Structure 1
């Protein structure tokens, strides 16, 4: 007995509906998981920024205490004599933050800010997957923020470095450190091959190099790299 043609058509139709619904369900799960991952990464980045700023405020307060305690006549507060250890205690407190191990896992080295692009991102050491989920990372073997040489920083094009698509020659990039700031002026941008490691080479003058994948809206693994080169402004 041969199956009725209408039964076959109904079975095929039901299978297509079932498959479509299953794909929609799996897609919804995928989007939900992706949303959770991105939200967690963003919250982690914001926490890192907040913690860095809190520590920066403590360093500033400790440094101010050192400055006040070393002024002539500052040993007397009201009618009571200040502690003879005040200066050394405050200095030690400031140093405990300023001299933190730059390579400590999860330690924010600096905040990268481009005011015109409303960009603020924490900078970590290294470019592991975990690091780049939380912010930007200093490429191993290149100069650290606050030092001379070529500071090379990388981040994802579809998250933290997406605003770089609108960067202009002459824009100012700030690296906010625990104990100061470096300001760089963008001199050039260009596109290069992922295998071009010359952008990592040391430089004779203090330089900031930003790297992200390109094109910015490419679907899949982007085939090129977008480079921003900036030089240190006079203090």
Structure 2
């Protein structure tokens, strides 16, 4: 298990204050300002408050958006126009000024180009991958914990760290796996990323320090880090170490 925490220091806060001057046109404001939402660069200390983000219709349905805008986690709605939400996000000056956001949203747009404008979340953006009965059971259990808080060292049932989440989910499906991310990476049967099936465990970083459960359609469900609840993330959000099946 690995400790994933957002590093927020006085120096970082001062840096973000300075950064707000660079993000011209976004009119970044204090967290108490109406309609402002915190936008953060995943796996970094950079965060800024951007007005109007939570008012973009359908933005919560964009796959992986909760990694950038944590407050949108769990707010996806049926029949959202995700393509329109992507275009609105690309046109938002504040979002455009967040480091790396333009490249990320362009990647999401490219992946889902040609998909119907109206669909129920990411699950309908592409045809589902073949699912083994056990994999489907594991995935359904993982989905039932979306929105649960990340707590370092926690292994359920109400809070989790990354490997605590995967081991708890597998236990509910009747399968005992190692507790830590490194042990899970070593114990499972290696599978190619191209052969991933829902329910497989995806291992991240060179030290196998993070794990998530593959959900199909290029997404995982994981317990990412402090302040970020269990939720969907893009498969390639972090450097992939390996993938295993139990």
Q: TM-score range by the shorter chain?
A: under 0.3
Normalising by structure 1, we get a TM-score of 0.23
Normalising by structure 2, we get a TM-score of 0.23
Query: 1 or 2 for the larger relative contact order (CA 8 Å, sep ≥6)?
Result: 2
Name the one with the larger helix percent: 1
